[in-house]
Chain A
Amino acid sequence: MNIMVCLSQVPDTTTRIVFTADGKSLDKSGVQFIINPYDELALTKALELNEALGSGSVTVVHVGRADSESNLRKAMAIGADKAIRVDADATDSIQVARELKAVATKGNYDLILCGRESIDYNGGVVGGLLAELLGLPLINIMTSMSSNGKDAEVSFDVDGGRAFAQVSHPFVATCQKELTEPRIPNMRGIMMARTKPLEVVSAETDSGPTQVSRFDLPPAKSGCRFVDPADMDQLVTLLHEQSKVI
């Protein structure tokens, strides 16, 4: 299959989040960016599907600037055949989805995989927006998939349960944790990635329609306070007067 994997990069999970002085963006100094873990699952699943079929191609597509190319190179070291970087700052979900659509329409893809969400802004809508823009079915929060190249058997999370379905290619799916285990690049992959193509294409638009006015950090967590189990009155008083939750 010809598979497109949408890939974003996010701050490493151990990053201490600091915003710029105007509060409008993340202070990126000293921040290490990694491939969004859900997108890494999408990439691994794409490789597994093609390995099972015995042939195919996997293209990772990213909207971002040149500083993300080390992660695209990593994606190719994991096994992607090609990378396309849309040269723009990703500002909101609809902008990213529109740019991905522009790439997707030129690629004749049988399957487009995204992570279920990015772990920085956690919007979780790019996959859905992309499916809508392309007029393709969406399998959202997919937990398993097998395919013969024409039709696929999938399962996906729904509120309080799980659904099982058949769907014909092409379609868009967003990937959930248990779909597979992410792969670590091996030496052969790292060597092969040196010569794989990384194409840079111009963006359709400069930025999305949303502009952030300000970010606030969540309030600092207060310490844990222990109450004597025999003193329910004190607990109720604290919940009522201090925490104001009852």
Chain B
Amino acid sequence: MKTDRFQHPDHYLIDELLTEEHKLIRDSVREWVKRELSPIIEDYAQRAEFPRHILRGLGEIGAFGPSLPAEYGCGGLDQISYGLIMQELERCDSGIRSTASVQGSLVMFPIYAYGSEEQKRRFLPKLAGGELMGCFGLTEPDFGSNPGGMITNYRDRGNHYVLNGAKMWISNAPFADIAIVWAKNEEGRIHGLIVERGMEGFTTPETHNKWSLRASATGELVFDDVKVPKANLLPGVSGLKGPMSCLDSARYGIAWGAVGAAMDCYDSALNYARERIQFDKPIAAFQLTQKKLAEMVTEITKAQLMNWRLGVLKNEGRATTAQISMAKRNNVEIALRIAREARQIHGGMGITGEYPIMRHMMNLESVVTYEGTHDIHLLITGMDITGIAAFR
């Protein structure tokens, strides 16, 4: 792997819209990524292994729940800071960003938003530091885009609940210490439970042979009469809005992260096009290469502006689910297209591990599907503008 000399494109001087602290956070995470992650990521992806030794470092740089309050050991930063951290992590690898997204948005956020004070004090500081890791169980083998149909359920047995069912496609599952599991009670209402590793009947088999997110650990959550203490129920929410609000937060992070992956592909393609000589001149001198590069930077610029505006709305508490859907869908799509075009510019070299392109491209094939598929997000926009849901 070559030395990581990434520089982000800023065609519209969007840096001027950021505060000095935003830039310090972004540059610090980028520096950390270049020092700690870039030299190893290709190797871990090739071996399909998650680099667990980086978890404490991720905690220190603020990757886990940075926008949650400082009183729980978190960063107390704004939503743009959170977005920039996700952008820098995914600039390196979507799998690493996934780990951070899950921990921050899908584990820490519901504990913060819907947990008891005792649950917040017990779990949040350790999750923020990477001492404890979590995962999020919503998707089931037969219920992906339609999570409301879930089968996983728990029953009240007096002084505890008994949980049964299975979840799949769960990032962080193989090593997570806790799982936020969404399950139905006797009345069919969805609630969140904190399931802890070591509880009898709870297993987390790993999903092998992935061609995507290879540097991220994915698995299943299997519950076979798991006794869950009543103190582990998230008391503050009931119904599908619980998990959906978590996904809003995670999808917002993905919208920023995908731009990170896109910028990495563009930066690599631009440098390669300047250096690669064919017919006695750099391939950047050919119109077809310039077309590709110019379209890439145009799409990146639009996505950067979209993220910034969404961040401002989120800071003001005004970002809607539909707005977040649009950004997630658009930015992942342009990232995928940019990865494919960048691969072409790199020629044959683009398929090797010498360059990050193919790894990003394969990762993004997961990102375009998870956290709401590409098509479902389009239908969310459709519902938003017509008032009619086309997916029910």
A-to-B contact residues, CB < 8 Å:
14, 69-70, 73-74, 77, 184-188, 190-191, 194
Interface residues in B56-105 (C-beta closer than 8 Å to A): 60-62, 66, 70, 75-77
Q: Which of B24, B31, B32 contacts A190 (CB 8 A)?
A: B24
Residue of B nearest to A77 (CB): B24
The answer to whether B75 touches A184, judged by C-beta atoms less than 8 angstroms apart, is no
Q: A184-B61, A187-B77 are in contact. Are A74 and B24 (CB under 8 A)?
A: yes
Chain A residues with CB below 8 A from B32, complex form:
184
Sampled A-B contacts (10; CB under 8 Å): A14-B5, A70-B20, A73-B20, A77-B24, A184-B61, A190-B21, A190-B62, A191-B70, A191-B76, A194-B21
- From residue B22, how far is it (CB to closest CB) to chain A in Å? 10
Residue of A nearest to B74 (CB): A187
Q: Which of B20, B23, B75 contacts A187 (CB 8 A)?
A: B75
B-to-A contact residues, CB < 8 Å:
5, 7, 20-21, 23-25, 28, 31-32, 35, 60-62, 66, 70, 75-77
Residue of A nearest to B73 (CB): A188
Q: Which of A69, A185, A194 contacts B28 (CB 8 A)?
A: A185
- From residue A60, how far is it (CB to closest CB) to chain B in Å? 15
Chain B residues with CB below 8 A from A14, complex form:
5, 7
Q: Which of A69, A188, A190 contacts B25 (CB 8 A)?
A: A190
The 8 closest A-B pairs by CB, nearest first: A187-B62, A186-B60, A70-B20, A185-B28, A187-B75, A184-B31, A184-B32, A184-B28
A73-B20, A74-B24, A190-B25 known, 11 other contacts, Cβ within 8 Å: A14-B5, A70-B20, A70-B23, A70-B24, A184-B28, A184-B35, A186-B28, A187-B60, A187-B75, A188-B60, A190-B62
Chain A residues with CB below 8 A from B66, complex form:
187
Chain B residues with CB below 8 A from A188, complex form:
60
Q: A187-B66, A191-B75, A191-B76 are in contact. Are A73 and B60 (CB under 8 A)?
A: no
- From residue B206, how far is it (CB to closest CB) to chain A in Å? 30
Q: A186-B61, A187-B62 are in contact. Are A73 and B24 (CB under 8 A)?
A: yes
Main secondary structure of the interface of B (DSSP, over half): helix
- From residue B217, how far is it (CB to closest CB) to chain A in Å? 24
Main secondary structure of the interface of A (DSSP, over half): helix
Taken together as a complex, chains A and B put the C-alpha atoms of A185 and B23 apart, in Å, by: 12
Chain B residues with CB below 8 A from A74, complex form:
24
Taken together as a complex, chains A and B put the C-alpha atoms of A70 and B19 apart, in Å, by: 10
Chain B residues with CB below 8 A from A73, complex form:
20-21, 24
Residue of A nearest to B63 (CB): A187
- From residue B58, how far is it (CB to closest CB) to chain A in Å? 10
Chain A residues with CB below 8 A from B5, complex form:
14
Interface centre among A70, A184, A185, A187, by most B CB within 10 Å? Answer: A187
Residue of A nearest to B21 (CB): A190
Taken together as a complex, chains A and B put the C-alpha atoms of A181 and B19 apart, in Å, by: 28
Chain B residues with CB below 8 A from A194, complex form:
21
Taken together as a complex, chains A and B put the C-alpha atoms of A69 and B19 apart, in Å, by: 13
Residue of A nearest to B13 (CB): A30
Taken together as a complex, chains A and B put the C-alpha atoms of A186 and B32 apart, in Å, by: 9
Chain A residues with CB below 8 A from B7, complex form:
14
- From residue A119, how far is it (CB to closest CB) to chain B in Å? 17
Taken together as a complex, chains A and B put the C-alpha atoms of A77 and B62 apart, in Å, by: 13
Taken together as a complex, chains A and B put the C-alpha atoms of A186 and B56 apart, in Å, by: 11
Chain B residues with CB below 8 A from A69, complex form:
20
Chain A residues with CB below 8 A from B60, complex form:
186-188
- From residue B130, how far is it (CB to closest CB) to chain A in Å? 12
The answer to whether B24 touches A185, judged by C-beta atoms less than 8 angstroms apart, is yes
The answer to whether B28 touches A77, judged by C-beta atoms less than 8 angstroms apart, is yes
Chain A residues with CB below 8 A from B35, complex form:
184
Chain A residues with CB below 8 A from B24, complex form:
70, 73-74, 77, 185, 190
- From residue B88, how far is it (CB to closest CB) to chain A in Å? 12
Chain B residues with CB below 8 A from A185, complex form:
24, 28
